[in-house]
Amino acid sequence: MVVPLEHVIALSMVLFSIGVLGVLFRRNAFTIFMSIELMLNAVNLALVGFSRYHNSVDGQVFVFLVMTLAAAEVAVGLAIIIALYRNRQTVNIDEINLMKN
Amino acid sequence: MYLSLLFYFIASIAVGSAIFVVLNRNAIYSAVSLVLCFFALAVLYLLLEAYFLAVLEIFIYAGAIMVLFLFAIMLLNLGREEALPRFMQLQRSLSLMLVLIFFFGIFLILFGSSEILDPPVEKFSGGGVYSLGEALFSKYLLPFEIASLLLLVGLIGTVYLAKRKI
């Protein structure tokens, strides 16, 4: 392996934490969505690292499935955000409180 | 030796662009920076000998998903996100604290015990299209079919959501 597994996992942890930070910090729905993509990618990196480490292709199959899921998720999620913008003229999630009353 | 240096260099690019994604107020800049992050991750996959996934990362993430993102952002013509009102600044520091607790929690769990990490296998056989396809069509055939069903459901859901009145 090029680097020890610990370093791959540490990088994956850092990227995942940055993604969580983005979900908590930002109020633009697009940026939150992009942070979720970042978290998925961090998990993918960890899976690829483990797959290389254990000399097995199973982890890469999981990454493949996660990528499929991400593609479907982005299509549906962006459609929801655009429908929301059509109804409320905003993508700021603090102003979207339809279910509050 | 050079490859490990390349790994750390690309890893720092990935982390830097990820931080830029999160801290930027303009969604377009975030999206372009996220594309850079995906390219860096593709190089990392190459270094970890996952060749097919590196290509897929560029095709699916940097190609399809981020183009969709940029298209949607430009369609809505958003400006910069306005600054947070004063009384909500507490939320921000609280969330930073939560993330730090989360980070160190995982750190302690992962690196507290070192017996899970044996010396790695040097020779890696998988990573190409052949071995991945073999696994997908024999051992993981059912998840593969379910993934195709998921894509179909996503397609139908998107078409329904894109109707004029919902």
- The rounded average pLDDT for each run of 10 residues, N- to C-terminus, in chain B (166 residues) is 90 95 90 95 93 93 91 83 71 86 85 64 74 90 94 93 76
Does the beta-carbon distance from B81 to A2 stay under 8 Å? no
Nearest CB among A57, A69, A70 relative to B135 is that of A57
User: What would the pLDDT profile of A37-69 be if each residue is shown by its tens digit?
Assistant: 999 999 999 999 999 888 888 899 999 999 999
pLDDT at B66 (0 to 100): 92
Per the DSSP assignment, residues forming a β-bridge with A28 are A92
Kindly provide the ipTM of the predicted complex, given to two decimals: 0.92
Q: What is the pTM of this model?
A: 0.90
pLDDT at B31 (0 to 100): 93
pLDDT at A72 (0 to 100): 93
Does the beta-carbon distance from B72 to A75 stay under 8 Å? no
What single letter denotes the amino acid at residue B22? V
How many other C-beta atoms lie within 10 A of the C-beta of residue B160?
A: 12
Within 8 A of A2 by CB-CB distance, chain B residues are: 3-4, 7, 47-48
pLDDT at A100 over 70: yes
Within 8 A of A71 by CB-CB distance, chain B residues are: 60, 64-65, 151, 154
Q: What is the 3-state secondary structure (H, E, C) of chain B?
A: CHHHHHHHHHHHHHHHHHHHHHHCCCHHHHHHHHHHHHHHHHHHHHHCCCHHHHHHHHHHHHHHHHHHHHHHHHHHCCCCCCCCCHHHHHHHHHHHHHHHHHHHHHHHHHHHCCCCCCCCCCCCCCCCHHHHHHHHHCCCHHHHHHHHHHHHHHHHHHHHHCCCCC
